Chain A
Amino acid sequence: MKQNLYNYILGIADNSLILGQRLGELTGHGPSLETDIACTNISLDLFGQVRSYYQYAAKIAGDKRTEDDIAMLRKEREYVNVLLVEQPNRDFAYTMARQFLFDVYHLLFLQELQKSKDLTLSAIANKSIKEVSYHLRFSIDWIKRLGDGTAVSHQKMQDAIDGLWTYTDELFHQTEADKAMVSEEIGVDVTKLKEAYYEKVQAVLKEATLTVPESKWFQKGGKQGVHTEHLGYLLSDLQYMQRTYPNMEW
């Protein structure tokens, strides 16, 4: 089995799975019908992409593991998503700030992954780009609307950006699997996305009349499986059905 490729795929897919689950929590609980539908639609796109990744990972694993096993039956330490995506919804400003900070990265990442020598990854990226550009439009819209809105909405969005900023740097950390895949021209060198990322983020924050946080101290660990306390609760929700009724399908 190609262990590096397998780990690399999980590194991509886990981000979308966990973020998709977070957004799914808003089903029926969004602040308005339109935003509720939007968050769940974005969640659905992410889950769709995730299925393509995990199906591919299951094929590479080549044992009895299915896409569902990979998605639902790992332990907390075995998930390698970045800390950013597991942060709880708190309020809508927080949800949109998290979405925006991930979307900007996600789109840059997929634009590079599209050039991968691995045809499956390149096809998934190509398909996903169209969806993710739409997610980014939506989240940018809300950053501006709340940032450049009332005094209260501005403050809430500023708090959200300040609170989540510490999780942004981890997006650009390379794992062992990353390095191996970059050398085979399969993977994306995330360190090279950093400049374009902060440029784009800062431009949007500026337009939204928000202040770019100055803090240079960043959290890390998600990519190594060391998570914030929020992930365990999320996983117990996510995995409940598979663990209670093993092998169930929908």
Chain B
Amino acid sequence: MTTTEQNIESILIPILEQVSDPEIPVLSIMDMGVVRSAVIENNIVKVQITPTYSGCPAMDVIGDDIKAALKTAGYDSEIELILAPAWTTDWITPRGRKALEDYGIAAPLNAEADKEVLLNGKRLVKCTNCGSTNTRLVSQFGSTACKAQFQCDDCQEPFDYFKCLK
């Protein structure tokens, strides 16, 4: 239960990569790091997923979407929601981080820089529109639990920042 390793059968990877986060459609749940294991036992795929935030309303939808994707590929499945080990933004893959940035959401900084930004008003988050770091925190909470609101003082664009969770 304490392992941070994913255990996903390679044959299932392409199927699971088709399922995206309903709140961030460009990001597959695989790149998000929420799928912790997927194994085939007696013709049933057992999938373990972990929530990003406890109250993330996307989890129920993600569970249903995984079931549907596997069904289309010819598998019945069982989804289990696990809490330990707790999800961290470190599990977002480099490809996932790029997808976030392209979508207009700044990817999480490391824990220390994140603290500086959210608590001490440091300007370190890169604007997803113009790339400037002349950005400021507008609101510690954003459109979803995982994000904070920022604005760029160079190009004036408001954007979301994916908060570091460790």
Contact = CB atoms under 8 A, between A and B. Distances in A.
B139 A34 contact: yes
A100 interface: no
Interface string A97-120: 000000000000000000000011
Contact of B86 (A45, A47, A130): A130
B53 A45 contact: yes
Interface in B117-162: 118-119, 138-145, 149
B83 A45 contact: no
Contacts of A46: 55
Interface residues of B, number: 27
Contacts of B70: none
Nearest to B139: A34
Contacts of A131: 53-54, 145
A41 B138 contact: no
Contact of A130 (B84, B119, B166): B166
A49 B86 contact: no
Contacts of A122: 84
B141 A138 contact: yes
Nearest to A20: B55
Contact of B55 (A37, A48, A119, A124): A48
Contacts of A138: 140-141
Contacts of A41: 141-142, 144-145
B100 to A, nearest CB: 19
B89 to A, nearest CB: 10
Contacts of B8: none
Contact of A126 (B51, B83, B140, B143): B83
A48 B53 contact: yes
Contacts of B166: 130
Nearest to B147: A41
Interface string A38-52: 100110111111011
A34 B143 contact: no
A127 interface: yes
Given A34-B139, A38-B141, A137-B119, A127 B83 contact: yes
Specify the main secondary structure of chain B where it touches its partner: loop
B140 A124 contact: no
- Give the interface size class of chain A: 20 to 34
A128 interface: yes
B55 A47 contact: yes
A123 interface: yes
Given A44-B145, A130-B165, A130-B166, A123 B139 contact: no
A130 B140 CA distance: 14
A50 to B, nearest CB: 8
B139 A52 contact: no
A134 interface: yes
Interface string A216-231: 0000000000000000
Contacts of A137: 118-119, 140
Given A48-B56, A128-B54, A131-B54, A123 B141 contact: no
Interface string B60-84: 0000000000000000000000111
Contact of B54 (A37, A38, A49): A49
Contacts of A49: 54-55
Determine which residue in B118, B140, B141 has the highest number of CB atoms from chain A within 10 A of its CB, and name it. B141
Of all A-B residue pairs in the complex, the 5 with the closest CB atoms, nearest first, are A48-B55, A48-B54, A34-B139, A123-B84, A44-B55
Interface of B: 1, 51, 53-57, 82-87, 118-119, 138-145, 149, 163, 165-166
Interface of A: 33-34, 37-38, 41-42, 44-49, 51-52, 119-120, 122-124, 126-128, 130-131, 134, 137-138, 141
6 contacts: A46-B55, A48-B53, A49-B54, A49-B55, A124-B54, A127-B84
